Amino acid sequence: MNQEFPVVNLPETPDTPLLGQRSGSNLERVLAAGHFAVTGELGPPKSQDAEVVRKKARLLKGVVDAVNITDNQTAVVRMSSIAAGLITLQEGLEPIIQMTCRDRNRLAMQADLLGAHALGLRNVLCLSGDHQSMGNHPGAKNVHDIDSMQLIGMLRDMRDKNAFQCGEEISGGGPGLFIGGAANPFADPIDWRPYRLAKKAIAGADFIQTQLIYDMPVFREYMKRAVDLGVTERLSFIAGVGPLKSAGMAKFMRDRVPGMSIPDDIVKRMEGAVVGINTGDKPARMQAWREEGIKLCIEQIGEIQEIEGVAGVHIMGIEWEEAVQPIAEGAGLLPRPVIEG
pLDDT value of position 286: 96
Report the greatest alpha carbon distance in the chain. 68
Q: Which range is least confidently modeled, 127-141, 263-277, 291-305?
A: 127-141
Give burial (CB, 10 Å; 0-12/13-18/19+) of 319.
exposed
pLDDT value of position 340: 84
Does residue 151 contact residue 101 with C-beta atoms inside 8 Å? yes
Q: What is the mean pLDDT of residues 203-210?
A: 98
SS3 133: helix
Among candidate residues 154, 86, 152, the one with its CA nearest the CA of residue 121: 86
Alpha-carbon gap, residue 58 to 55, rounded angstroms:
5
Q: What is the mean pLDDT of residues 109-120?
A: 98
Is residue 1 over pLDDT 60? no
- Neighbouring CB atoms inside 10 A of 215's CB total 18
Q: What is the mean pLDDT of residues 187-206?
A: 95
pLDDT band at residue 6 using 50, 70 and 90 as cut-offs: low
Q: What is the mean pLDDT of residues 328-336?
A: 98
pTM of the model: 0.95
Among candidate residues 111, 283, 307, 124, the one with its CA nearest the CA of residue 205: 124
Alpha-carbon gap, residue 288 to 273, rounded angstroms:
6
DSSP per position, 62-121: TT-SEEEE-SSGGG---S-HHHHHHHHHHTT--EEEEEETTS--HHHHHHHHHHHHHTT-
pLDDT value of position 130: 87
Alpha-carbon gap, residue 282 to 264, rounded angstroms:
23
Q: What is the mean pLDDT of residues 304-308?
A: 98
Q: Is the dihedral of CA 147, 108, 140, 124 positive or negative?
A: positive
Question: Which of the pair, 31 or 130, is modelled with greater confidence?
Answer: 31
Q: Give the model confidence (pLDDT) of 255-265 as tens digits.
A: 999 889 999 99
pLDDT band at residue 319 using 50, 70 and 90 as cut-offs: confident
